[in-house]
Amino acid sequence: MEIANQIKRLRVKKGLSQDELAERIYVSRQTVSNWENEKTYPDIKSLLLLSEVFETSLDALIKGDLNEMKRQIDGQEYAKFLRNSFILTAFMLLIIITPIPLGHFLGWWGMAVYLVICAVGMAFAVKIERYKKKYDIQTYKEISAFMDGKSLSEIEKAREEGKRPYQKLLLAAGAALTALAVTAAMFMIFKNFR
């Protein structure tokens, strides 16, 4: 966070107007406005007075609240991860359930719609994979810890990394069997409609 944003955020948090802040640190309201609009920067004396008025350290005033920023960014990333996970789940269900009905009722147009559904589903799958790579989360335990806002210890992390190849293989096999079972069931259901 830049110093201009910090000054404005802390001033508003304290419930001070620009005039009131200017009075307390012996500058004009225009000077405070210039700081907040990044036209000028406070000198050392003003920074010391600002830190006293805002009851914060110079370090926190200049650098900003890094922990707060990190928490907000992580919260936003977590929210995006959740939203994209739900959307991906919905599209995966559509990919499994819709091919036979779309083909049966709409013919070739149904297959075109199905390809669009697949493309959108794959786009969300790529987004989820990017999150997983960025935060180094691959196994269920790692994803679960991420969703709870925690991280695994080094030993737990090493154990989970050892499981990754097997879990990917089992997930792929499970997904293929599920898709095959659903496709067979849909085929049997729509076979009777002819």
**Structural domain boundaries enclosing 110:** 70-191
21-30, 37-46, 120-129: segment of lowest average pLDDT = 37-46
78 shares a domain with 42 = no
183 shares a domain with 139 = yes
118 shares a domain with 28 = no
Write the pLDDT tens digit of every residue in 83-103: 898 999 999 889 888 888 888
Boundary of a domain, candidates 16, 40, 64 = 64
pTM of the model: 0.48
Q: Give the whole-angstrom CA distance, residue 109 versus residue 116.
A: 11
Q: Cβ(11)–Cβ(21) under 8 Å? A: yes
Position 26 scores a pLDDT of 92
φ and ψ at residue 37, rounded to 5 degrees: -100, 10
